[in-house]
Amino acid sequence: MFQDIFTAIPLGLLLAFMLGPVFFVLLETAAIKGIRAALAFDTGVILADIVFLSIAYFGTSQLLEKIKDEPALFIFGGSIMGVYSVISFLKVKKTQYRKSTYTIQKLKSADYIEIGIKGFLLNFINIGVLGFWLAVIIIFGPALNMNPQRLAVFFISVLITYLAIDLLKMMAAKKLNKKLTPARIAISKKIIAIIILIFSMILIVKGLFPGDSSTQKNMKEKIEKYTP
């Protein structure tokens, strides 16, 4: 059991520091809306990971082989992500640039739910996440004898490690709040939107020009060095 936990920790660290839309939006949420909002966002992200994990574990290998690199899914996910980035960019109000002070607004329960859904959808539309978890199961599953209990301990340890590192990132980002002005917040929101747009374009390009390399193969190369 402890061996499975120790094996999972490096993978959780890798997952926490993988650069992607979720990484940047999490930091932005913590800095602008506070740690509780960032936790709500991260909860949605982890729920999406659990859904993908379930699909990868319970799905048939033939189905997953077809889904994980399906060009249409990359184009679809990239398009949704692109629309989201454009809307986010346009929602930044010009009036924010004229203010000189900023205070965190108190959020209601419904706001936290909305933020959690945002985290879930932002992670779920990235089909590459499915390829990541599929590669993890293919690589680590045999080492764990595909034992349901050992797999549960392993993946729970991965997600707990991921969440723990995210908490540290949230606290670090929260300290930036004192230096944030409405103008800087507006600029940061636009930068995040542009970053998400770039990732959406990458997904669309993968869909239009699949090439020879697959998501699973790329993720295998990153994960294999952590193989027990």
Q: pLDDT of 21-71, one tens digit each?
A: 888 889 888 888 888 999 999 999 999 999 988 887 887 555 555 555 567
Mean pLDDT of 211-227: 53
Among residues 53, 52, 45, the alpha carbon closest in space to that of 21 is found at: 45
* Res. 125 pLDDT band, cuts 50 70 90: confident
CA gap 157, 66 in Å, rounded: 29
Is residue 218 scored above 70 in pLDDT?
no
Mean pLDDT of 103-125: 85
Any idea what the Cα angle at residue 133 is, between residues 197 and 34, rounded to 5°?
55
Number of Cβ within a 10 Å radius of residue 96: 16
Query: Under a CB-based contact definition with an 8 Å cutoff, are residues 136 and 18 in contact?
Result: no
pTM for the model stands at 0.72
| Residue-level pLDDT at 95 | 46
| Residue-level pLDDT at 225 | 54
CA gap 109, 215 in Å, rounded: 37
Is residue 217 scored above 60 in pLDDT?
no
